[in-house]
Structure 1
Amino acid sequence: MRLTPDAWIFWQYGFISLNATIVFTWVLMAVLVLGGALITRRLTTSHERSRWQNLLEIVVTTIMSQIKDVGLKNPHHYLAFLGTLFLFVAIAALATVLPGYEPPTASLSTTAALALSVLVAVPLFGISSQGLMGYLKSYLQPTPIMLPFNLISEVSRTMALAVRLFGNMMSGAMIIAILLSITPFFFPIVMTLLGLLTGMVQAYIFTILAAVYIAAATRSSKAVKVPSPAPAA
């Protein structure tokens, strides 16, 4: 029984190997790109719209609503990044119903890459919102003594994102594999449905956490100045 798709090797030459994590990741990215191109090729503003366009508008509107609720003022600015994160994790989980497929998010290397993308995106969005000096000053808030702790928090929350997603996705795949070997067909089906629900929840949580980190980085650190009272006459 494979604990991770990294153990499924398709091709290897010396220390270079092509495992299931790499293959399924690229297949999933190709499906997202191709699906996006097919759905958006005939967009229209008329009242008669295709079912795919209606589905696309529902997904986009929902994601933008969640981004706005987190506290980001311009959801369109963050839609591409956060929407891609959500769709990648969600579809990786939904595709587990396909025979022979193993979600790449069950590999720590994939979840670490997703977490690193958040680690890079947070300062980029923060700098674009506050400027370079304004963003760097946020590490000194509320006092310069907090600088090492703020730096440690950047690394620790990245590790937490990667390990949380990896643990939840891998545990579901392991439970299904164990039940397939020791129980009848009915129970793995139930666990697969539960795994789909868990995968969607994890996609939502991962995206919301990324949005929260970006919101914290883009929030201005300037304190509101309270006007001093006028001197008595």
Structure 2
Amino acid sequence: MEEAVVIFAFGPVHITATVVTTWGMLLVLGVCARLATRDLSTDAPGMLQTALEGAVLAVENAIEGLVAGRSALLLPFIGTLWLFVGVANLTGLVPGLHSPTGDLSTTAALAFLVFLSVHWFGIRAVGFKAYARHYLSPNPILLPFHLLGELSRTLALAVRLFGNIMSLEMAALLILLVAGLLVPVPILMLHIVEALVQAYIFGTLTLIYIAGGMEAQQEQSKEKE
């Protein structure tokens, strides 16, 4: 992994190229979201509104397939995560920029956010006491193994996305260096497909972890009753 490029610093706080790229990406997403949703209509929706509603409906169906009745609760987080990771993966296609998800610090932050969200939604589903009881079942001696499983899963989530995106960019660069500009379109298409696939996998794994936590705690709570 190459050393992070520091753009500027505030004392001990260093702002790297990855951070600046992420800020720019968030700004673009915010502007696009504002422009796309400012003229919504219930009577005669345009093509853009229809496409956006179709995307939201697809995310809702994906959530309902794993956690029935929880799409309204999980849609904002899962939808935003899918959108962010997908755009971040594709940012490397812009000349002079690298995908923020090709930096381990970004994927580690995303994985930590997923780690917190799993517990947050689990606690909201059954309450803190019932949720915490899971880590002591069926025997308190299993607590360290439960915690180790949570940490290893979070680490794997961060490393998987980082490794895939970094290797994708390196492979594209090596092929272009060898073949020159003779095959830019096929390489571009492969990059887009792989970037979207990795975003889908990351979001789906997050949804599976959240769904598993919520359902496990709910089942255990019913057994206690």
- When the two structures are superposed, what TM-score results if normalisation uses the length of structure 2? 0.90
Worse-matched range after superposition: 67-76 or 210-219: 67-76
Q: Which residue of 1 aligns with 2:101?
A: 105
Which structure has more helix as a fraction of its residues? Answer: 2
* Residue 156 of structure 1, CA deviation: 0.6
Alpha-carbon deviation of 1:33?
1.8
CA contact (8 A) 1:176 1:188 kept: no
Alignment of 1:184 onto 2:180: yes
Query: Structure 1 stretch 151-160 or stretch 87-96: which is displaced more?
Result: 87-96
SS at match of 2:183: helix
Mapped partners of 1:36, 1:176: distance in 2:
30
Task: Give the 3 Å change call, closer, same or farther, for CA 140–13 of structure 1 in structure 2.
Answer: closer
2 CA distance for matches of 1:15 and 1:180?
A: 38
Structure 2 matches for 1:219-230, cutoff 5 A? 219=215, 220=218, 221-222=220-221, 224=223
Matches of 1:139 and 1:195, distance apart in 2 = 41
TM-score, length of structure 1 as denominator length: 0.87
| Change in 2 beyond 3 A, CA 1:188/1:175 | farther
Match in the other structure for 1:231? none
CA distance in 2, matches of 1:12, 1:177: 30
What is the number of equivalent residue pairs in this alignment?
221
1:24 is aligned, of 21, 25, 48, to: 21
Q: Which amino acid aligns with 2:221?
A: K
Residues 58-81 of structure 1, C-alpha deviation per residue, up to 9 Å, x if partnerless? 111111111111224210101111
Matched, 1:11 2:8: yes
**For residues 68 and 131 of structure 2, what CA distance do their matches in structure 1 show?**
16
Q: Given the alignment, which residue of 62, 66, 84 partners 2:62?
A: 66
Q: How far is 1:100 from its partner?
A: 1.6
Indicate conservation of the 8 Å contact 1:9/1:19, yes or no: yes
Q: Does 1:123 align with 2:119?
A: yes
| 1:211 positional shift | 0.8
Match of 2:90 in 1: 94
TM-superposed CA distance for 1:114, in Å, is 0.4
Match of 1:40 among 26, 34, 37: 37
Q: CA deviation at 1:154?
A: 0.9
State the identity %.
39
Alpha-carbon distance in 1 for matches of 2:173, 2:131: 46
Give the match's secondary structure for 1:186. coil
Query: In the aligned structure 1, how far is the partner of 2:63 from the partner of 2:75?
Result: 8
Instruction: Give the conservation status (yes or no) of the 8 Å contact 1:96–1:102.
Output: yes
Structure 2: gaps spanning 5 or more residues: none
Quick check: 1:93–1:195 contact (8 Å CA) kept in 2?
A: no
**Which runs of 5 or more structure 1 residues have no equivalent in the other structure?**
226-233
What is the letter of the counterpart of residue 53 of structure 1? Q
Look up the equivalent residue of 2:115 and give its one-letter code: L
Letter in structure 2 aligned against 1:30: L
- 1:101-139 Cα deviation digits (max 9, x unpaired): 211000000000000000111111111110000110111
Cα deviation 1:158-212 (Å, max 9, x = unaligned): 0011000000010011111222322221334322321211111111111111111
- What is the aligned counterpart of 1:213 among 204, 209, 212? 209
Q: Which residue of 1 aligns with 2:145?
A: 149
Displacement, 1:12?
4.7
Cross-structure match for 1:228: none
